[in-house]
């Protein structure tokens, strides 16, 4: 321990120091020195504080990607259950394997890396009984659904699904062949070994069972949407001879449209046209090949992110207590983020993840150094030596609303938003900041983070533009109506 902080290393294997029997020992912990430092002792302390002092608590998990934060989150929740002597109301726990399947992926840092930030709220009543929980999900790495880096994979659920579906089910979802978004390198097997295939197959069976147990309706419609994304990812384009894009494989559009319950011609039109305002009227502009590919990828990202949000909502309707019950209870919040990342190519999502890490560090530092110093001053305790600490405020300022993200917002709202205009403004406004390194050659800028120096490459015009949403009429799609929270329409947000 360092004060109230537990420092732990990820062993990348389950050690005998974890499990129900060890957890029961820590339920009787009186002093920190009674047992070795452990994640279970953190759960014991926060639970006791909520039970006896009637104050809500928060546990912040910090570390680089792959440091074991998500597993630590699961261990904290498991130990909290043991702490209240198994007095947990039915379905009062977050379904971690389901969240992992839809929100985690294989990366260069971690075989099961979280690709979103989440907080888990565990509600405890006056008697110390866990009455429910709630998952809050933020900043899903949407770009992964359409652009997977070399050596990495898409979200886990796709690999679970293809391994777990029967031959009849695969035929029903038109799954037969290779799919760009899950196998970007043609000819490379989806499952390297038979053991890997069996792992995904078993995981899928468990996911189906858990979805049913959680009360999620229309399970196969979820798989239908996922299958539609596989087909949409395969949609290709060629030039019509006049600079416009034409779909190369209409069969993929037809299969996706069938699974999404939309008209094929309307789905095709979303790829090939963009609605723009000309003198107060809406006019359809023909897309070029890069524009059509951009539209396709944005549709993939939007549908998957909305599906993910809808699933989180479904989980919470089961595990979250009634509003009045929630008001009468106390809360233990666990913060789990993807952690700091520095890749060969860093996207906007990496910038978001790294900014969150900086803010969490800032919060932790202020609690340890500033807060403790104020307590000593208030109680008349003199500190013999002034403690110097690494204040990362300049890093946050370079990225936050007054820095990179603020400039991105301004450029995105301008009449002619371009990547070059964004990079020029960033270099002009932030060039003199100590944590910002201007690059005279190349389309990227560099931020000196607390953990490492990260170069963020200029985008490829994705996410910057003035196009409007394009509505797709649903013929018979109540499932997608619920997932997209619109009646009789899917509003595909195009940028």
Kindly give the pairing relationship between strand 237-239 and strand 245-247: antiparallel
Residue 137's H or E segment, with its range, is: strand 130-138
68 is in an annotated binding site: yes
339 is in an annotated binding site: no
65 is in an annotated binding site: yes
435 is in an annotated binding site: no
User: For residue 120, which of 337, 378, 413 has the smallest C-alpha distance?
Assistant: 337
69 is in an annotated binding site: yes
Do the beta carbons of residue 491 and residue 484 sit within 8 Å?
yes
103 is in an annotated binding site: no
Those residues with Cβ within 8 angstroms of residue 229's Cβ, 6 or more apart along the chain or in another chain: 145, 181, 256, 300, 303, 304
Which tokens sit at 122?
């565990």
Gap between the Cα atoms of 470 and 476, Å rounded: 19
Distant-in-sequence contacts of 240-248, Cβ < 8 A, 24+ apart: 243/286, 243/288, 244/272, 244/286, 244/287, 244/288, 245/271, 245/272, 245/286, 245/287, 245/288, 245/289, 245/291, 245/292, 246/272, 247/271, 247/272
403 is in an annotated binding site: no
Which tokens sit at 461?
């015009």
Residue 473's H or E segment, with its range, is: strand 470-473
- Strand segments (E) across 9-108: 57-61, 104-105
| 3-class state of residue 117 by DSSP | strand
Which segments are annotated as binding site for ATP? 63-70
Please report, in range form, the residues annotated as the binding site.
Answer: 63-70
């Amino acid at each position: 321990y360092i004060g109230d902080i537990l420092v732990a290393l990820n062993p990348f294997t389950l050690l005998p120091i974890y499990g129900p029997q060890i957890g029961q020992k820590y339920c009787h912990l009186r002093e920190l020195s009674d047992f070795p430092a452990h994640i279970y002792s953190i759960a014991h302390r926060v639970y006791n504080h909520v039970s006896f002092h009637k104050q809500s608590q928060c546990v912040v998990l910090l570390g680089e990607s792959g440091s074991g934060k998500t597993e630590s989150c699961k261990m904290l929740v498991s130990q909290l259950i043991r702490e209240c002597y198994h007095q947990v109301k039915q379905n009062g726990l977050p379904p971690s394997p389901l969240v992992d399947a839809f929100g985690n992926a294989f990366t260069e840092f971690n075989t099961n890396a979280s690709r979103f930030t989440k907080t888990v709220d565990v509600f405890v009543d006056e008697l110390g009984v866990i009455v429910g929980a709630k998952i809050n999900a933020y900043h899903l790495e949407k770009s992964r659904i359409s652009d997977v880096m070399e050596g990495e994979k898409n979200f886990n659920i796709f690999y679970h699904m293809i391994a777990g579906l029967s031959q009849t089910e695969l035929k029903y979802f038109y799954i037969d062949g290779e799919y760009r978004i899950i196998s970007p390198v043609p000819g490379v097997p989806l499952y390297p070994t038979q053991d890997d295939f069996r792992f995904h197959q078993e995981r899928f069976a468990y996911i189906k069972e858990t979805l049913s147990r959680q009360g999620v309706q229309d399970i196969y419609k979820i798989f239908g949407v996922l299958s539609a994304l596989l087909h949409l990812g395969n949609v290709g384009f060629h030039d019509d001879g006049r600079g416009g894009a034409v779909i190369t494989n209409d069969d993929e559009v037809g299969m996706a449209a069938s699974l999404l319950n939309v008209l094929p011609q309307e789905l095709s039109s979303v790829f090939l046209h963009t609605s723009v305002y000309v003198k107060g009227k809406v006019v359809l502009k023909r897309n070029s090949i890069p524009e059509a590919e951009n539209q396709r990828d944005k549709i993939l990202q939007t549908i998957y992110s909305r599906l993910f949000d809808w699933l989180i909502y479904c989980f919470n309707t089961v595990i979250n207590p009634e509003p009045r019950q929630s008001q009468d209870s106390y809360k233990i919040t666990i913060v789990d983020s993807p952690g700091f990342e520095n890749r060969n190519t860093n996207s906007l999502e990496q910038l978001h993840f790294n900014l969150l890490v900086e803010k969490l560090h800032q919060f932790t530092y202020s609690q340890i150094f500033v807060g403790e110093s104020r307590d000593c001053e208030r109680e008349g305790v003199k500190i013999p030596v002034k403690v110097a600490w690494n204040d990362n405020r300049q890093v946050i300022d370079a990225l936050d609303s007054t820095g990179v993200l603020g400039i991105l917002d301004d450029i995105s709202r301008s009449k002619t938003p371009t990547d070059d205009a964004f990079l020029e403004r960033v270099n002009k406004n932030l060039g003199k900041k100590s944590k910002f390194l201007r690059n005279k050659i190349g389309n990227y800028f560099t931020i000196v983070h607390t953990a490492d120096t990260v170069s963020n490459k200029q985008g490829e015009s994705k996410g910057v533009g003035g196009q409007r949403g394009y509505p797709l009429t649903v013929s018979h799609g109540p499932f997608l109506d619920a997932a997209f929270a619109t009646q009789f329409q899917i509003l595909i947000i195009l940028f």
